[in-house]
Amino acid sequence: MLNFYKIVKENLRFNRFEFRETVCLEYVCPIDARQIGIFSRNDYVVHVLSGRKTFRTVNGEWTLAPGQTLYLKKGAEIIHQYLDDEYCMLGFFLSDELIKETFEEARGQMALSYSKDPLEFTGVMVEPSNYLEGYFHSMLSYFRGFNRPPDHILALKLKELLITLMDCDPMLGAYFKSIAESGRPSLHEIMEKNFCYNLKLEDYAELSHRSLSTFKRDFRQLYKETPGKWLLKRRVRHAAHLIAHSGLNVTQIAFESGFEGLSHFSRAFKSIMGVSPTDYKKSILQH
């Protein structure tokens, strides 16, 4: 899978600004594949200017058209691209530090309402508003201008975006509150939301904002086994669920469960479940 945050952070072809670990840019997609997998260590906001894309996570799917805005939590997703029109977006890759700082400043100055459970979502379509539309229009003048805005102006503009998002959606307000009150990202949440993607251990460590050695240590403390063994068993359990409850074929299920190929999937499934995926499906149909 492509490290989307690293691509936008290091690619000089995009109109982009960077403030500490937050990156914002105007992005014209250079990739012509119809489907790609990406991940990002930062939460990010997508506002579509032209074209369409479908973003699919482990528990949601959204197709964005021009003028629509999506907030995605750090993690992985599969993107389906529509090649009939050039895709252009504004992207804001928001660091946890900036979210914490903005929330702490805003909490004492504005009335914030919170939904009860901010952790279950992986993405949320943001309701349009005049404030939000005005914000994106104002940022375009920076992206298409000749001079980079000074850091203090850029910081204010990024905080303006976060405050506007909190005002638009109580769930985002609750989520930002959880970030402000926690340390590093929840290892349990990162793994449960991203186990079914074909990511390396280094990628999971990056998503959880840990070094690889710290990730392995914290993982063993939490799950009492190595990440490799846990991922294999978790992916097989997910595949077994899909075999029982979806109409997908075995090849599709292997892909949806994070396996590199069909042969690897079949071996792993049989080693844990005792039967091949095909025989497992037959046994279910017989009952």
Give residue-wise pLDDT tens across range 123-162: 999 999 999 999 999 999 888 887 778 889 999 999 999 9
What's the pLDDT at 114? 56
Domain check: are 73 and 45 in the same one? yes
Domain check: are 169 and 192 in the same one? no
Using 50 as the pLDDT threshold, list the residues of the chain that sit under it: none
Show the tokens assigned to 233.
């068993």
* Domain CATH number, residue 244: 1.10.10.60
What's the pLDDT at 111? 63
Domain check: are 85 and 6 in the same one? yes
Domain check: are 36 and 146 in the same one? yes
What's the pLDDT at 110? 66
Domain check: are 24 and 127 in the same one? yes
Domain check: are 138 and 173 in the same one? yes
Q: What are 222-267's pLDDT values in tens digits?
A: 999 999 999 999 999 999 999 999 889 999 999 999 998 899 999 9
- The total of structural domains in the chain comes to 2
User: 144 exposed, middle or buried (CB, 10 Å; 0-12, 13-18, 19+)?
Assistant: exposed
Domain check: are 138 and 210 in the same one? no
Which of 160, 180, 200 is the C-terminal boundary of a domain?
180
Q: Which helix (H) or strand (E) holds 71?
A: strand 69-72
* Domain CATH number, residue 83: 2.60.120.280
How far apart CA 43 and CA 59 sit, in angstroms, is 16
Domain check: are 134 and 240 in the same one? no
Domain check: are 87 and 210 in the same one? no
Which of 146, 180, 214 is the C-terminal boundary of a domain?
180
Show the tokens assigned to 158.
């990024």
What's the pLDDT at 12? 66
What's the pLDDT at 182? 86
**Is 246 strand, coil or helix?**
coil
**Structural domain boundaries, residue 16:** 2-180
Domain check: are 39 and 155 in the same one? yes
pTM for this predicted structure: 0.90
